[in-house]
Structure 1
Amino acid sequence: MFKIKQLLPLCSNCFKKTKFNFQRFASHQKEPTTNTDYDDGPIKFSTSRAIAYKAKTTRTGIEAVRLWYEPYVLILSVGVFLLYFCILREENDIDKDLSRNLYSRIEGLEELQLRASLKYNLTNGLDVIDIRNRLEEIEEEKLKVATSK
C-alpha cells in the first residue's frame, strides 16, 4: 500500500488531457527507411530527434496555446455574472432564511456556547459579567415561554 501512495504523485500527469501540436510533430518526422539493416552502434544525440525534446514536457505536458482574447472573455463573463447575482437578482426566501441568526435556528445553542465560554473565562481569569448577564436573560426568556404555555 505504501508503494502505491508513492507512485500516485508520479502518475498524476498520466490523467491530464494534453493537446498535441500535429504541425510540430509532422515537421520532425522523417520518411521511413526501407533499409532493414540497422546499426547497433551508439546514436549521436545532437543529430537525433531527442535534441528537440524538453524534459519539462514529461512533467507538465505540451503547453496549450491560449487565444489572445481569452482573458477578456473570462473577465466579461465573471463581470456579467456578478452584476446579475449581486444587483439584478431579486431576493428570495432562501436569502431571507440564510440571513437568520444561527442561535434562532438551533434551540439551546447560545446557552451552551455561553456556558462553555463562562467555564473558559473562569479558568483563565477573564471577565465573565457580560456572559452571566446574557445567561440570566436566556433563563428569563425560558421562564416566560414556560409560563405562557
Structure 2
Amino acid sequence: MTHSFVRGALAALVALAALPALADGLAVEGAYAVRSNPMSGAAYMTLRNAGPGDDRLLSLDSPAAQRTELHSNEITDGVARMRPMPEGLPLPAGGTAVLERGGLHVMFMGLTAPLEDGEIVPLTLHFESGRTITVALRVTPQHAGEIPPPDGDKP
C-alpha cells in the first residue's frame, strides 16, 4: 500500500511539473533543468508577463544549490562566456523572455547533491513587483537539445 501511494504521489508531482506556473499575469512555461557536472546545473524556461505593468526577474533560489543565478551567454571572438545578470531580467507588460541553451539561463552552483535525470527540483523566482513563483523543474539528459554552434549553423 505504501509503495503504491508513493508511486501515485510521484506521478502527481511529475504531472504538476509539466504545467505552467502562474502568478497574477506572470507565467513560467516549459521549465526544465540539466546537469552540467556534479557541482552545477542549468535551467531553461519561457517567462510571460500578461499583466498590465512591467516587471523584472530579480533573483532565484533553490534548495538544490548553494547559489542560483541568472546568466547570459556572450560570444566574443568565437568563445562563449557566461555572465551573471545582477540587474535582473526586464519583463515588460505583454512581453516574453526565453531562457534557452546558448542564451539566457539559470545557473545552479554548488549543488547540494548531483542532479539526476528525471528528478524534480524546485526553483523560486522573485520579481520586482514582490510576486514569487515556484516551479518544479524536471531534470532532463544533458544531450537533449544540444547548444547550437555560435554561428547558428548545423554541425
TM-score (structure 2 length as normaliser): 0.20
Bigger relative contact order, structure 1 or 2, given CA contacts below 8 A and separation 6+? 2
TM-score (structure 1 length as normaliser): 0.21
Q: Which has the higher strand share?
A: 2
- Greater Rg over alpha carbons, structure: 1
